[in-house]
Structure 1
Amino acid sequence: MAAETPVETKARTTPRQMALALFEDMFDLGTSINEANREIGYQRNNFFTEIVNMGLAARRFLDAAYFIVAQEPEVIDQYDVELNYFKWLMRYDSRNLKHLRTIADEAQNAKIRVTNTPSDRDPAEDDIWVQVQLIGMVAMHRGRIRFDVHHSLIPHIRDPRKSHWLSLRISTAFTRSLARAIYDKVLPSVPTGRTDWIKLDEMRTWPGKMGANASIFKYFKRDWLEPAVREINEISDIELSYETRTESTSSKKVDRIRFLLGRKDTADAVMASLSDASQIYKILKDEFNLSTRQFTEISENRETWNDDRILQAIEYTRFKLNRGQVKKSPSGYLMKALRDNWRMSEAERTMVQVQTKLLTDEAEKEAEKVAAKSTVERSVASRDEETRVRMNEESRQGREHYQAADDKSRKEHVRSWLTSKEGKLVLRRMKLEPAAVTEDVIFNTPDLSWYLGQFVFGRIKSAIPR
């Protein structure tokens, strides 16, 4: 019966599987993660932007570890992966294990601190103060790395609420510690377009140790801030500028900074704005091949085009594709479904369910027919095999009886067989004359000896014990 093929749900490729596949493809070629043609990252909790006093390499080390934690299907006590994979995730190209251990040591020394004590007074007994090591035990042995993370941090890594998309492809491309530190800090503020005012002395603690001249704003601006801003604008998915102010109207000392932010009009910008980024982006890019212009339109309308609306447009477009109602561009149809908020009706869902059931029932009936036919064929083949074995055994017993008989009896058996209907039929089929068929000819011809054995067995079967 004719029926439309229902929409099939494809098995999802997880970010973990995709990252491993990219590593396997790229590592042997010596290609770094920042050159990947697919996005790799995870939803990072805004909580972790409070990390300060950490260098660039240690941040990459922590990113790789947290990516692995975020993608693990279950919470486990220790995480164990191939060292080359871990190094690839953090874009560590060196074979210098001593240096890598130093980076791990710096990451272990870093802590995250939460307190409600205002900065302008000393702590009191009722104040909250919590400090947690960002990564615990780290072990490297025989090409593998093991590590653990404090149990209180796991929920914030695996199931973040207030979060932002962190792209390892972008974050590993930074070469300046301050650029990476600023990028981390401003990501949660991108949707609002600006950060709050930040004390410069506080910002100077973000990347770890800085030179003595960093305390003087003109040198800090020339040697650290401006190069960092340029790098962020060149390699990341955001456009960034800043403005400063003095500590008071009567002072000339610049002591505060505020960053102004915006997403670039690229697919990376959409990637960063999607809460289920890796999966939805993969569908939009690989299945529907959306253009940069179409991605930009989605990015500009994210306030109303949320994940549910995008997924319902994908579902509707797939449904129409399977019914043969999309004649030109699937990507264009998808965008129209997004703009006009098209969705599958309950009646259409019911229709798909009914069609699916009909197809399933029909497939089951066909499978039952095939199984029944196969059973009959096996049964017939089994009976044929039993008959063949039985007849071979009868012929063998007939030949044994023939061989044991005296000359007169053997000649009588041969004469009787050659003049019987069965014998004449065999000789005719083999184009032999009875007069030319002797005992030697019979036993040198397997077919003749087999039929003679059958004939003899038929004559004396009542006398042969079974």
Structure 2
Amino acid sequence: MASDNPEEGKSKATSRQMALALFEDMFDLGLRINEANREIGYQRNDFFTEIVNMGLPARRFLDAAYFIVAQETELRDQYDVELNYFKWLMRYDSRNLKHLRTIADEAQNAKVRVTNTPMDRDPNENDLWVQVQLIGMVGFHRGRMRFDVHPRLVPHIRDPQKSHWLSLRISTAFTRSLARAIYDKVLPHVPAGRTDWIQLDEMRNWPGRMGANAAIFKYFKRDWLEPAVREINEVSDIELSYETRTASTSSKKIDRIRFLLKRKDTADAVLASLADASHLYKVLTDEFTLSTKQFSEISENRDVWTDERIQQAVEYTRFRIKRGQVKKSPAGYLMRALRDNWKMSEAERTMVDVQAKLLADEAQEQAAKSAARSSVARSVASREEEVRARMNEDSRKGRDHFNAADAKTRKELLHAWMTSREGKLMLRRMKLEPSTVTEDVILANTELVWYLGQFVFGRMNSSRVSV
């Protein structure tokens, strides 16, 4: 294949580095985060969409904090960032720190709650109920901001399972609390194309306190719902419409709503559309670290570059990497595979399967050989242990016989052993002169007395055989 594009070989910045670079470029020019020409966001856990009764500024505050937490590779007791950077991430343009403290206070009062108690009964002591603050300590001092997040929440922020892409460029563009609240709630349902039916009374609690007229549908629709839908369609990456339903066929009171959703065909929407397939998104961002420009190219060709085609390009690129054929940028090679529709042939798949089977067979054979060697070694060690135990027992019996014999017999046995070939070798090895060795000397030496016991036991067996 042709060589990779050298431009694609340049190192890719992390999301955190890119956000800091954008901040440095834009802050001095007075440009807001929603005016950035590159995407800034993170994979947000679906259960954070259950946050209700929170105003728009507090939602932005949590978004900025969770974005910072999501970029860290390790758990931290405390997060410390430049205050201007944090304000830019949440699109807070005011210098009114008193108001910012009020926003932080509202965010600190927000909690995520998990329970298995049904709505139609009171809780009992066996029910599950867990409640955690969405953000803990918050502090401002000398142009810095410090905050912490409960450690039980951090894994859900950094590595969520069921999740969706949250763009800070889009979320900070909202000016209506209900628009932002609806956007948060519907994001996990975009792949399905619609939400379930939602009680209007429940939806009225999403953005926090609303006026008294909100209880009357025609005013709620005119003053809150329709403006929110228009703003979502104008500033976000989705197109949204809705249907309503009455409580019953005989009732005229509209009491529930369902949203119909479609992802826009824009470069801004590509990360979110890919994030809907969480596994594929993680592969492109974590394994291949595609740049924003590369994601934009995927977006422009999304009608042809389907998930299946992207997966084929990923599989092909991995195969070439393993064969040592990708010399520069894996991301660049992957993009070429997408453009030229490279994919593994059936012959290559067969070859990979055969090689994998051969490796598996070889590993299994080696494991069997290793197990056999271990079994033999254990068997030999066991037999050696048995032999040692038997010889120790024989020596003990010989010593017992020697100790029980009279002085004349012990003298004869001692002389016989010292004049035997085994006895001479032992005395020579111990550098002892036979003429100076007495019974006491032998009995005081554990090694000599052991061999003496062996010799006496042999004499005992010989006597029994002779008889």
TM-score when scaled to structure 2? 0.65
Cα distance, 1:135–1:104 mapped onto 2, change above 3 Å: same
2: CA distance between counterparts of 1:102 and 1:216?
31
Write the deviation string for residues 175-215 of structure 1: whole angstroms up to 9, x where unpaired. Answer: 10000000000000111111111111111111011111001
Q: Secondary structure at the match of 1:255?
A: strand
Say if 1:246 and 1:252, in contact at 8 Å, map to a contact too: yes
Name the aligned partner's letter for residue 335 of structure 1. Answer: R
Say if 2:204 and 2:214, in contact at 8 Å, map to a contact too: yes
2: CA distance between counterparts of 1:330 and 1:72?
27
Q: What number of residue pairs does the alignment pair up? A: 337
Name the aligned partner's letter for residue 145 of structure 1. Answer: M
Q: Which residue of 1 aligns with 2:185?
A: 185
- Counterparts of 1:238-253 in structure 2, within 5 Å, are 238-253=238-253
- Counterparts of 1:48-447 in structure 2, within 5 Å, are 48-274=48-274, 275-276=281-282, 283=290, 285-286=292-293, 290=297, 293-298=300-305, 301-302=306-307, 304-305=308-309, 308-312=311-315, 334-337=338-341
2: CA distance between counterparts of 1:21 and 1:344?
46
Give unmatched runs, 5+ long, in structure 1.
324-328, 350-466
2: CA distance between counterparts of 1:206 and 1:337?
46
2: CA distance between counterparts of 1:174 and 1:288?
24
2: CA distance between counterparts of 1:281 and 1:203?
40
1: CA distance between counterparts of 2:152 and 2:44?
15
Cα distance, 1:317–1:55 mapped onto 2, change above 3 Å: farther
Give unmatched runs, 5+ long, in structure 2.
275-280, 353-467
Name the aligned partner's letter for residue 163 of structure 1. Answer: S
Q: CA deviation at 1:74?
A: 1.1
Q: Which residue of 1 aligns with 2:16?
A: 16
Q: Secondary structure at the match of 2:301?
A: helix
1: CA distance between counterparts of 2:287 and 2:241?
30
Cα distance, 1:234–1:316 mapped onto 2, change above 3 Å: farther
Name the aligned partner's letter for residue 182 of structure 1. Answer: I
Moved more, 237-246 or 313-322: 313-322
Write the deviation string for residues 107-155 of structure 1: whole angstroms up to 9, x where unpaired. Answer: 0011111111121222222221111111011000000000011111111
Say if 1:138 and 1:145, in contact at 8 Å, map to a contact too: yes
Identical positions, percent: 70
Q: Secondary structure at the match of 1:86?
A: helix
Q: Secondary structure at the match of 2:20?
A: helix
Cα distance, 1:78–1:46 mapped onto 2, change above 3 Å: same
Cα distance, 1:95–1:89 mapped onto 2, change above 3 Å: same
Say if 1:194 and 1:258, in contact at 8 Å, map to a contact too: yes
1: CA distance between counterparts of 2:291 and 2:320?
12
Q: CA deviation at 1:346?
A: 8.7
1: CA distance between counterparts of 2:318 and 2:299?
22
Say if 1:316 and 1:337, in contact at 8 Å, map to a contact too: no
TM-score when scaled to structure 1? 0.66
1: CA distance between counterparts of 2:163 and 2:290?
22
Cα distance, 1:216–1:272 mapped onto 2, change above 3 Å: same
Name the aligned partner's letter for residue 100 of structure 2. Answer: L
Q: Secondary structure at the match of 1:290?
A: helix
Q: Which residue of 2 aligns with 1:367?
A: none
Q: How well do the aligned residues superpose, as a CA RMSD in angstroms?
A: 3.3
Cα distance, 1:230–1:341 mapped onto 2, change above 3 Å: farther
Write the deviation string for residues 55-89 of structure 1: whole angstroms up to 9, x where unpaired. Answer: 00000000000000010121010000000000000
Cα distance, 1:288–1:67 mapped onto 2, change above 3 Å: closer
Q: Secondary structure at the match of 1:112?
A: strand
Write the deviation string for residues 417-448 of structure 1: whole angstroms up to 9, x where unpaired. Answer: xxxxxxxxxxxxxxxxxxxxxxxxxxxxxxxx
Q: Secondary structure at the match of 1:100?
A: helix
Say if 1:70 and 1:157, in contact at 8 Å, map to a contact too: yes
2: CA distance between counterparts of 1:5 and 1:106?
51
Cα distance, 1:103–1:5 mapped onto 2, change above 3 Å: closer
Name the aligned partner's letter for residue 150 of structure 2. Answer: H
Cα distance, 1:5–1:127 mapped onto 2, change above 3 Å: closer
Name the aligned partner's letter for residue 311 of structure 1. Answer: V
Name the aligned partner's letter for residue 185 of structure 1. Answer: K
